[in-house]
Structure 1
Amino acid sequence: MRFVKLFFISVVIFAIVIFLISLMFPSRLVIERTGVINAPMSKVYTVANDLKGWRAWNPWMIADSVAVINFSEPASGTGAYYTWESTKPGGGSGKVTVSDSNPQKGIYYHMDFSSMKSVYSGLEMKPSTDGSGTAIHWYLETDLGWLPWWKFRGFMGDKLFGPQMEEGLNRLRTICEQP
């Protein structure tokens, strides 16, 4: 009986320690990448604004190329959206909705997932410092809340998703820099 009591006390103390450690982690996750595309801002905006064109450069649409994707009509501009249903086991489903689309600023969108926290994101654009290209800032932002497992997962967010974002920006650059 004493062993069982000690076991339960240890489990409770361990859970409290984990929770207290998680308080040191931020409850907001922001992942961001920047780059310069040697193409006019109007061209970069046109390519990035068309959700159907995201299949060519967005790393998450490429990774699950067999997902069932449905686009709104029109598939660009404020209010445009697409939904997906993965055919892979554990792939999930969700919806991406463009909340603001402005040729002078960029594209801002909201991602809702079936099994994850919502993500607010944007592709901010401005002329590069030399004026010959487009400076782009891609960010993902989500509120992780107070639960330790989300905060620990958020701690690894940049390492998990940052390289994919860099890959996506490189693909976007390749597409936009083509004559």
Structure 2
Amino acid sequence: MRFIKLLLVSVISFAVLIFLLSLLFPSKAVVDRSGVIDAPLAVVYSQISELKTWPQWNPWTRQAGPSLQFSEPSQGAGAWYTWTNPADDRSSGKLTIQRSDPAKGVYYKMEFKDMKPVFSGLEIKPSENGKSTVIHWYLETRLGWLPWWKFRGFMADRLMGPQVEQGLTELKARCEGMR
């Protein structure tokens, strides 16, 4: 009986310790990367505002492959696309453009089954010389207070950062090739 009490107190103490430790972690996870594309603002905006061009440069959209379904129209606020993964239903989801502005960029929301929504943006502005475009791509997830979400958020930049960089590199090559 004494062993069971000790075990129960240890498990509860460990759970409280994990929860208290998780309070030190931020309540949102942010992944962001920036770059300069040697192409006019209008060229870059044409690529980020039209969802049907995303498979050409966005690594996650390309991975969805033939399961992509686009709204009509496929650009502007309210436009969306969905993807499905028959092997893993949890990795299916929907991306919806919340705002789209030729002078500022595209802001969107991604929703996945059994996961927190991701609020993202592809912000653009002209460079100082006016011939290039400065781009900033960010993904933000509000994690809440649960420890397992906060620990997962702690790893977000390491997990998704390389894909964001890859997407910006491919977008840069595509836009610069269109000049």
Structure 1 residue aligned with 2:140: 141
Structure 2 residue aligned with 1:19: 19
In structure 2, C-alpha distance between the alignment counterparts of 1:90 and 1:83, rounded to whole Å: 12
1:147 and 1:27, CA in 2 relative to 1: closer, same or farther beyond 3 A?
A: same
Structure 1 residue aligned with 2:116: 117
After TM superposition, the runs of 4+ consecutive aligned structure 1 residues lying more than 4 A away are none
Structure 2 stretches of 5 or more lacking a match?
none
Secondary structure at 2:47 match in 1: helix
In structure 1, C-alpha distance between the alignment counterparts of 2:144 and 2:10, rounded to whole Å: 26
- TM-score using structure 1 length: 0.95
- What percentage of aligned pairs have identical amino acids? 55
| Deviation of the 1:91 alpha carbon | 5.2
Q: Is the 8 A contact 1:92 1:115 kept in 2?
A: no
Secondary structure at 2:73 match in 1: coil
Q: Is the 8 A contact 2:90 2:112 kept in 1?
A: no
Q: Is the 8 A contact 2:89 2:113 kept in 1?
A: no
Q: Which amino acid is 2:71 matched to?
A: S
Q: Once superposed, what is the RMSD of the aligned Cα atoms?
A: 1.2
Secondary structure at 1:60 match in 2: helix
Structure 1 residue aligned with 2:104: 105
Q: Is the 8 A contact 2:107 2:122 kept in 1?
A: yes
Structure 1 residue aligned with 2:58: 58
- TM-score using structure 2 length: 0.95
Structure 1 residue aligned with 2:6: 6
Count of residue pairs the alignment pairs up: 178
